[in-house]
C-alpha cells in the first residue's frame, strides 16, 4: 500500500501543477456560486498574531496547493483565510486548482472515498509534499460525520456555518502548522 501511494505521488508533477494553478485574486474574479459568501469571508478573514508569528518562523518557503471549487461552502470558509495567510506571511504562497479539472490530483487525496474539498497539499520550496489537509478542520469533520445520517442537510449546513463563524480559522491554521512541523 505504501508503494502504491508513493507511485501515485511520484506521478504528480507538483511544479507543473503549481504553474497550472491560479492565484486567489484570479479565482475570486471568476466566482459564480456564492460570491457574497466568498467575498464576505475574505473581507473579514484575518490571520491571528500567533499564527503569523508561527508561520513566519518556518524555515524556507511553504506552498499551499489547494483543490477547490466556488460552490463548496467548506472552501469558501477556509480558502480565504489561506489567502490572507499567504498575503501576510512572507514565504507562504497559495495557488488553487479547480477540483474537476484535475481529477488525477483529486483521486490522490480522496476523503473516505469521496472527492471532498478543499484539500490543501503542503509543499516545500522544492515542491516536496509535506502533507495534506482537508476537507474540514478535524473537530468539524467529526461532527459532520457523526450527524449527517440523523440530521437534515439544512441542519448540517447551519451547524457548519456556526462552527466556522465561532472558530474563525484558528483550528485550520493549527492543523496546517502541525502538518508542517511534523515534516521539518
151 pLDDT above the threshold of 80? yes
Q: Which of 72, 87, 101 is nearest to 160 (CA)?
A: 72
What pLDDT score does 60 carry?
85
Contacts of 16 (CB under 8 A, 6+ apart): none
Does the structure show a pLDDT above 90 at 8?
A: no
Residues 119-133 as b/e (b if ≥16 CB within 10 A, e otherwise) read bbbbbbeebeebbbb
Tens digits of per-residue pLDDT, 71-107? Answer: 999 999 999 999 999 999 999 999 999 999 999 999 9
% pLDDT > 90, the chain: 86
The residue extents of the domains of the chain are 2-136+171-183
The DSSP bridge pattern shows strands 92-98 and 119-124 to be: unpaired
Q: Contacts for 144-151 with beta carbons within 8 Å, 24 or more apart? A: none
pLDDT of residue 113: 85
pLDDT computed for residue 7 by the predictor: 40
Q: Give the tens place of pLDDT for each residue, 23-36.
A: 999 999 999 999 99
Count other Cβ atoms within 10 Å, centred on residue 60: 9
Task: List the single range of 1-15, 89-103, 146-160 with lowest mean pLDDT.
Answer: 1-15
pLDDT for 59: 86
User: Whole-prediction pTM value?
Assistant: 0.89
**CB atoms closer than 10 angstroms to residue 171:** 17
Q: Does domain 2-136+171-183 have CATH number 3.60.20.10?
A: no
Amino acid at each position: 500500500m505504501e508503494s502504491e501511494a508513493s507511485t501515485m505521488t511520484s506521478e504528480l508533477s507538483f511544479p507543473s501543477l503549481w504553474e497550472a494553478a491560479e492565484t486567489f485574486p484570479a479565482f475570486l474574479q471568476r466566482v459564480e456560486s456564492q460570491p457574497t459568501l466568498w467575498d464576505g469571508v475574505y473581507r473579514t478573514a484575518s490571520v491571528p498574531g500567533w499564527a503569523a508569528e508561527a508561520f513566519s518562523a518556518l524555515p524556507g518557503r511553504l506552498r499551499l496547493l489547494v483543490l477547490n471549487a466556488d460552490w463548496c461552502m467548506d472552501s469558501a470558509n477556509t480558502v480565504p483565510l489561506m489567502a490572507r495567510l499567504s498575503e501576510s506571511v512572507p514565504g507562504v504562497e497559495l495557488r488553487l486548482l479547480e477540483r474537476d479539472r484535475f481529477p488525477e490530483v483529486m483521486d490522490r487525496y480522496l476523503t473516505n472515498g469521496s472527492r471532498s474539498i478543499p484539500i490543501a497539499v503542503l509543499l516545500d520550496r522544492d515542491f516536496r509534499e509535506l502533507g495534506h489537509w482537508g476537507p474540514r478542520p478535524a473537530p468539524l469533520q467529526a461532527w459532520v460525520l457523526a450527524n449527517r445520517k440523523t440530521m437534515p442537510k439544512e441542519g448540517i449546513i447551519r451547524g457548519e456555518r456556526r462552527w466556522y463563524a465561532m472558530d474563525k480559522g484558528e483550528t485550520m491554521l493549527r492543523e496546517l502548522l502541525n502538518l508542517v512541523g511534523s515534516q521539518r
